[in-house]
């Protein structure tokens, strides 16, 4: 049986090892640590370790949200990106502040993705519906999709 000092050390080592692989939100890291250290008395130790890591700057939901946006933004719309971050435990205030900092607009990202996938305005209703479904499944807004599919989005700001 491990004493409290050893438990703290092990939990902290595991948390740092997980963060060394990639950025994680506090919520996800807490869940990973709870899987590994499932004893009831470990929960306060896990929370204390996470507080310490946040204090030292090793753990940051804001940095996690930025990294997630950088890797996924070219493929997904604002709605999908916000939903994924919420599912990973990032609060709405952090999500909104990070999204505001993001330089490329949803329209530009959707247009680039649409051009890569389709490249031309649909000629019939069936193709229009297919293109619409594709962009909608990626989390782009109805307004953005309509502008792109109609082909009148070149002058959009």
Domains within the chain, CATH numbers bracketed: 4-59 (1.10.10), 62-101 (no CATH), 106-150 (1.10.10)
Per-residue model confidence as pLDDT tens digits over 63-81 = 999 999 999 999 999 999 9
CA angle 98, 99, 105 (to 5 degrees): 145
Per-residue model confidence as pLDDT tens digits over 6-23 = 888 999 999 999 999 999
Q: Are 65 and 85 in contact (CB under 8 A)?
A: yes
Q: Are 72 and 88 in contact (CB under 8 A)?
A: no
* C-alpha to C-alpha distance for 80 and 72, rounded to whole angstroms: 10
pLDDT interval class at 2 (50, 70, 90):
low
pTM of the model: 0.83
């Amino acid at each position: 049986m491990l004493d409290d000092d050893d438990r703290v050390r092990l939990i902290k080592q595991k948390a740092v090892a997980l963060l060394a692989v990639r950025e994680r939100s506090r919520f996800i890291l807490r869940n990973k640590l709870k899987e590994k250290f499932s004893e009831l008395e470990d929960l306060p130790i896990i929370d204390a370790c996470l507080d310490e890591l946040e204090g030292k700057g090793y753990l940051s939901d804001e940095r996690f949200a930025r990294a997630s946006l950088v890797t996924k933004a070219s493929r997904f719309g604002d709605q999908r990106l916000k939903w994924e971050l919420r599912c990973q435990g990032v609060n709405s205030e952090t999500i909104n502040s990070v999204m505001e900092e993001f330089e490329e607009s949803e329209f530009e990202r959707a247009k680039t993705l649409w051009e890569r996938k389709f490249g031309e305005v649909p000629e019939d209703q069936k193709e229009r519906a297919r293109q619409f479904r594709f962009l909608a499944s990626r989390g782009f807004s109805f307004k953005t999709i309509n502008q792109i599919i109609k082909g009148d989005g070149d002058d959009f700001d």
